[in-house]
Chain A
Amino acid sequence: MAMIEMRGINKGYMLGEERLPILKNVDFSVEKGEYVAILGPSGSGKTTFMNIIGCMDVMDSGEYYLDGVAIHETKERDLTEIRNKKIGFIFQNYQLIPTYNVMQNIIMPLLMRGMSHQDAEARCMETIRLLGLDQRLEHKPNELSGGQKQRVSIARALVGQPAILLADEPTGALDQTSGKEVLKLFSEINEMGNTIVMITHDLSVAKTAKRIVRIVDGQLME
């Protein structure tokens, strides 16, 4: 079975009395180890689509299977666990907790699984070395550059060994050089067997993925 299997997904928001459709009967699937870019302009529904893939929002109708789990039948309490174990989020503006240092930010997903502080630190050391953050562990996010922050965000997404990495405009807040570094990193991570779904409005960024899916007016086109 595919890593992500979506059939007939619909999502809309109420605007006063009127329903505004965002996603219209979307079918989408991603195989294990794929690196997919979802490309679309602002207002096309790509963020809503990403929230549904990331189990942070619920669809109005349709079926969604993530790594064999029927998400459309899952309750909010269980979705929390699925987010923790099956999805690694990488956000445009990093979404690091400002009061925690690099190490504390990175180990958070592991702590949420019930792991002890010591075990979590030991487990993420390899990822930290891979991303070149071993000299920055005690730094707070405001002491890092944009590229370093995004690497922390990637490390946090990777440590839990999730089924998919979900990246929302990962280079949106970075300069060109840092952006390229991050995209190179994505390719390397994908080469290691990780499944990546990246959302972007930038065609040059999307082109670094192995597969591009366009979203226009709430509908997907290959």
Chain B
Amino acid sequence: MRLAEIIRLVWLNLSQNKFKVVLTSVGIIVGSATIMLVIAIGTGSREEVAEQFKNLNAGAIDVTYGGEAQSGGGSDWFSGLFSFGNGGEMPSFGGGDGGGMPSFGGGSGSGSGRSSGGGRSSDGSRSSGGSGMPSFGGFGGGSNGDDLILTQADCEMLLEEVDGITDATIAYTTTTSVEGGDHSSATYYTIAGVLDNYAQISNLSMAIGSFLTQENDESKEKVCVLGANVATEIFGSAYAAYDGIVYIDDRPYVVSGVLEEMGTVASGISPDTAIFIPYQTGIKYVTGEFIRPTITVIAEDVNNVSAVMEEINAVLEETYEGSAFGLSDAGSKMEAATTSNQTLTLLLYSMAAIVFIVGGIGIMNVLFVSVKERTNEIGILKALGCSRKDILMEFLLEASCISFVGACIGVLLSLGITPAVELFHVRVSLSAQGAMLSLVFGVITGTIFGFYPAYKASRLVPVVALNQE
């Protein structure tokens, strides 16, 4: 029989049993909608991870004195201590996992506080003392080696002595009151003291103006670069903020530039909600000497990060005998996030596969019933000379069409469900490829599960089938 005629017969059968077609395809509808959403959620979470890490260089290694490394005095560490909105209210003090916040202590862990003795002062010169008598022991809550502050000199030393490093920078954060622009009262913002190469290392780009320069730092100039959200909150827009004045700790700073919006970031300083000032300016006017900076170095070869980390540790331990340093690399963070994302995606795919199998079994069941119902019809067709191949093809095409209809409805359903999923703050990224894949999966599943009933129909003995009531 011609394929066109078989298709015509399939259409005839299906169009006279529309309700049955829809009921049969329920499993495929759910399966296709699930696949579509799984792909969309998987893509969404991948995009989110990529977005959160877009300010990270894959070869970046963070070095801090004491416990776990935090990039640039990072926002995670910071948010562990404070909970506040974007430049919103007063910080609330809470138990972070490592104290040692320059201005506010109170961490519950073993993080480093500050002492005036021992190491170098923050401007790079050796500080006097060395008895280790902590001056601010009560703030940091730290109990071991609270006598070292990493400096620009350490940064330069690493750049010189460790092989395989292309660049290095140092940064710290604090939080302090900021006034200016449309704000009638002081609001607390993250202030980051950074060097001129910070923007390049952290993949920051400017919306307007320029980033801080070496001259700004050396002259301890009161200039700043605003994060996108900060600029909007204080001045209404990036353009309004440019060349404006903000008051940090009651001192005026000229806004030399505003950053492009970066979105949420997984590690490091959250650029959208921070104000960047020159490193030395911050020490002189905002934080004082006692800070807890993070050195970030960039490994030349991302495959050689482990070796570079070992060398950094060795150099630092040799320089500061008996001190412990926390090192973490961006690649590991990215890998961990990607692995976790992949696990989630795999889990969702497994779920979708189960739904498809259940849907497929549903199709198989209904087709078996259909073959049973139509045994007499199959007998008539066989008596009239319809070949096994034609009967197999007819039932297979019916299964495929039911699956296709189900898959189409499933894809449409997923479009309807998406806003509901997004209500739960799940990022859903629908795509044409996802729709195509769920259609293909739906049709393939239905066809595979439809094969056995179709095969059984084609093998019926004509005389037996014909006598079936």
A residues with a Cβ closer than 8 A to B are 51, 54, 56-57, 77, 80-85, 89, 91, 95-100, 104, 108-109, 111-117, 156
Cα distance, A15 to B385, chains bound together (Å): 30
Partner of A56, one of B4, B12, B386, B463: B463
List B contacts of A77 (CB < 8 A): 387-388
Which of the listed residues B4, B5, B390 has the most CB atoms from chain A within 10 Å of its own CB?
B5
Contact A112 B384 (CB under 8 A): yes
Chain B nearest CB from A158 CB (Å) reads 13
The answer to whether A116 and B2 have CB atoms under 8 Å apart is yes
In the complex formed, the residue of B with least CB distance to A54 is B383
Counted as pairs of residues, one from A and one from B, with CB atoms less than 8 Å apart, the total is: 72
Provided the pairs A99-B13, A99-B16, A104-B12 are in contact, do residues A84 and B2 lie with their beta carbons within 8 angstroms?
no
Tell me whether B387 and A80 are in contact (CB under 8 A).
yes
Q: In the assembly, what is the distance between CA of A114 and CA of B463, in Å?
A: 24
The answer for the CA separation of A156 and B462 in the assembled complex, in Å, is 18
Which residues in B have their C-beta under 8 angstroms from that of A81?
385, 387
Q: What are some 10 contacts across the A-B interface (CB < 8 A)? A: A56-B463, A80-B386, A83-B383, A83-B384, A84-B384, A89-B384, A95-B466, A104-B12, A112-B381, A112-B384
Which residues of A sit under 8 angstroms from B97, Cβ to Cβ?
none
In Å, the complex CA distance between A146 and B23 comes to 35
Residues of B within 8 A of A89 (CB): 383-384
CB-CB under 8 A for A112 and B8, given A51-B463, A83-B384: no
Is the CB of B382 closer than 8 A to any CB of chain A? yes
Contacts A56-B466, A117-B5; A112 near B385 (Cβ below 8 A) = yes
Hey, which chain A residues are within 8 Å of B311, CB to CB?
Answer: none
* A residues near B380, Cβ cutoff 8 Å: 95-97
Which of the residues B2, B16, B383 comes within 8 Å of A111, measured between beta carbons? B2
Q: What residues of chain B have their CB less than 8 Å away from a CB belonging to chain A? A: 1-2, 4-5, 8, 12-13, 16, 376-377, 379-388, 390, 462-463, 466
Cβ of B4: which chain A residues have Cβ within 8 Å of it? 116-117
Contacts of B387 in A (CB 8 A): 77, 80-81, 112
Chain A contacts for B16, CB-based, 8 A: 99
B460 CB to closest chain A CB (Å) equals: 12
B5 touches A109 (CB 8 A): no
How far apart are the CA atoms of A111 and B2 in the complex, in Å? 7
Interface centre among B382, B383, B384 (most CB of A within 10 A): B384
Q: Is the CB of A109 within 8 A of B385?
A: yes
How far is B388's CA from A81's CA once the two chains are assembled, in angstroms?
11
**Nearest Cβ in chain A — how far from B213, in angstroms?**
81
Cα separation A80 to B387 with both chains bound (whole Å):
6
In the assembled complex, how far is the CB of residue B461 from the closest CB belonging to chain A, in whole angstroms? 8
Within 8 Å CB of A111, what residues of B?
A: 1-2, 5
Report which residue of B5, B12, B381, B385 has the largest number of chain A beta carbons within 10 angstroms of its beta carbon.
B385
7 additional contacts (CB under 8 A) given A57-B463, A83-B462: A83-B383, A97-B381, A99-B12, A108-B381, A111-B5, A112-B1, A116-B5
Whether B382 contacts A80 by the Cβ 8 Å rule is: yes
- Determine the distance from Cα of A98 to Cα of B377 in the docked complex, in whole angstroms: 8
A-B CB proximity, top 4 nearest: A84-B385, A56-B463, A83-B385, A56-B462
Q: How far is the CB of A163 from chain B (nearest CB, A)?
A: 13
Interface centre among A97, A98, A113, A117 (most CB of B within 10 A): A97
Please indicate the chain B residues that have their CB under 8 angstroms from the CB of A54 in the complex. Answer: 383
Q: Nearest chain-A residue to B17 (Cβ)?
A: A99
Complex: chain A residue closest to B467, CB-CB: A47
- The answer for the CA separation of A100 and B16 in the assembled complex, in Å, is 10
Q: Are A114 and B384 interface neighbours, CB within 8 A? A: no
The docked-state distance in angstroms from the alpha carbon of A113 to that of B381 is 12
A108 adjacent to B384 (CB under 8 Å): yes
Q: Which residue of A lies closest to B382 (CB)?
A: A80
Q: A85 contacts B5, CB within 8 Å?
A: no
Q: How far is the CA of A115 from the CA of B377 in the complex (A)?
A: 21
- Asked if residues A114 and B1 are in contact (CB atoms below 8 Å), the reply is yes
Once the chains bind, are A114 and B2 in contact (CB under 8 Å)? Answer: yes
B388 adjacent to A80 (CB under 8 Å): yes
By the criterion CB–CB under 8 Å, are B383 and A56 in contact? yes
Interface centre among B4, B13, B380, B382, by most chain A C-beta atoms within 10 angstroms, is: B380
Nearest B-chain residue to A120, judged by Cβ:
B5
